[in-house]
Structure 1
Amino acid sequence: MPGDDSAERKHAPATLRNREPIAKVLQEELPVTGKVLEVASGSGEHCAFFAELFPGHVWQPTDPDPSALGSIVSWCAGLDNVLPPLALDAASADWPVDAADAVLCINMAHISPWEATLGLLAGAKRLLAKGSPLILYGPWRREGVATASSNEAFDASLKARDPRWGLRRVRDLDAAADAHAFARTRLVEMPANNLMMIYRR
């Protein structure tokens, strides 16, 4: 993996487990070329992996946490198709990006207030041309599908940390997306009881 051994570098263990399944879906859903805006990039490990795998795309990582921005720089050092990370709070109406050809958001909705996901939808509507994908990944609740016991325990731990956090319902996301003229075009079951969902206008 590119990058140096800076002390700023963070590591998210789940990245190694989910990056290849996520990449498989991205290969099917991303445009052939263009700018991919990653909202809530976290450690930067996903961005570094995907940028190497999809060299024809320009990757724009973002995160609201200043310490995450340093980690992203460390992981993505040496990758010519990764732009410098930007501070972006999904819940804000003021995004430092004017346009993108795809928006990717991994594991944000459950560890942030619901307002962040609503802001993500609003921001994607501003940035994306019609037909361009908004792609989300993470653990979600589905109507008529039992939630795995591990996800129930995860949900309880999240709410204990912050009552505004927790697993969201797919139907609630669909309704919020519809209010921003997005429709879900695909739902993919992923390893470890996660889902990947694609929305387009």
Structure 2
Amino acid sequence: MEKPDAPSCAKNREPILGVLRDHFADCRAVLEIGSGTGQHAIFFAGQLPHLTWQTSDCPENLPGIAVWLVDAALANTPAPLVFNVLETWPERRVDAVFSANTLHIMPWPAVERLFARLPEILSEQAKLVIYGPFNYGGAFTSTSNAAFDAWLKEKAAHQGIRDFEAVDALAGQAGLRLLEDRAMPSNNRCLVWQRTGA
């Protein structure tokens, strides 16, 4: 099959890499939730060879991810996992979790479930990095984000840009402390949390 292509990956991968270099320097095992095409995975795994980068997504996306992984032939990218946050979670511990452009696609109950179950897989002091658009104080940060939110809701009513405060509250309930909220291109953010307890 042809490799799936998400043009946004090429545009945002360098700024995200800067965040990962800062916060994943001492990490070893990363679980990427919602790997999409797999393009982020091979780029980050190639640039950060000290990490084992575990991709995961819904079954229909795994063949496309596998094509990218096989073509890149990196030693630190195992085969992708089938993973739906509302279903069975992998039985493993990781010291880093990464997810890009997923929270505004998932139904809100799935976002709640994601954070509620993270403590089951995060080791002590593990890091969580989430990339995507967020609202602050209940307001859009740009007209383009407002238009994007409207487009998302036209596609599916359960989709939409999430409020940073609501997401950070879920993280706090899961024992995660916000370390950084970094501005990204195209009115996106990179949010970094760390687990504070065992």
TM band (smaller chain): over 0.9
The one-character-per-residue Cα deviations of 1:118-150 (angstroms, maximum 9, x if unpaired) are: 222123211112211011000000128752111
SS of the residue corresponding to residue 200 of structure 1 reads strand
Q: Does 1:185 align with 2:179?
A: yes
Q: Does 1:61 align with 2:55?
A: yes
Task: Give the number of equivalent residue pairs.
Answer: 193
Aligned-CA RMSD value: 1.4
Alpha-carbon distance in 2 for matches of 1:152, 1:166: 10
Displacement of 1:183 after TM fit? Answer: 1.8
Alpha-carbon distance in 1 for matches of 2:42, 2:186: 22
Alignment-mate amino acid for residue 86 of structure 1: L
- 1:143-182 aligned within 5 A: 143=137, 146-182=140-176
* 1:86 match: 81
Alignment-mate amino acid for residue 62 of structure 2: L
TM-score for the superposition, normalised by structure 1 = 0.91
Alpha-carbon distance in 1 for matches of 2:80, 2:91: 11
* 2:45 match: 51
SS of the residue corresponding to residue 19 of structure 1 reads helix
- 1:1-201 aligned within 5 A: 6-7=1-2, 9-64=3-58, 66-77=59-70, 78-92=73-87, 94-143=88-137, 146-201=140-195
* 1:3 match: none
Alignment-mate amino acid for residue 81 of structure 2: L
SS of the residue corresponding to residue 144 of structure 2 reads helix
Alpha-carbon distance in 1 for matches of 2:131, 2:141: 16
Alpha-carbon distance in 1 for matches of 2:113, 2:34: 12
Question: Structure 2 stretches of 5 or more lacking a match?
Answer: none
Q: Is the 8 A contact 2:27 2:96 kept in 1?
A: no
SS of the residue corresponding to residue 54 of structure 2 reads strand
Alignment-mate amino acid for residue 171 of structure 1: E
Question: Structure 1 stretches of 5 or more lacking a match?
Answer: 1-5
The one-character-per-residue Cα deviations of 1:63-82 (angstroms, maximum 9, x if unpaired) are: 01x23111111111111110
Inter-CA distance 146–158: structure 2 relative to 1 (3 Å threshold): closer
Alpha-carbon distance in 1 for matches of 2:129, 2:110: 15
Alignment-mate amino acid for residue 88 of structure 1: F
Alpha-carbon distance in 2 for matches of 1:117, 1:192: 23
Alpha-carbon distance in 1 for matches of 2:44, 2:57: 17
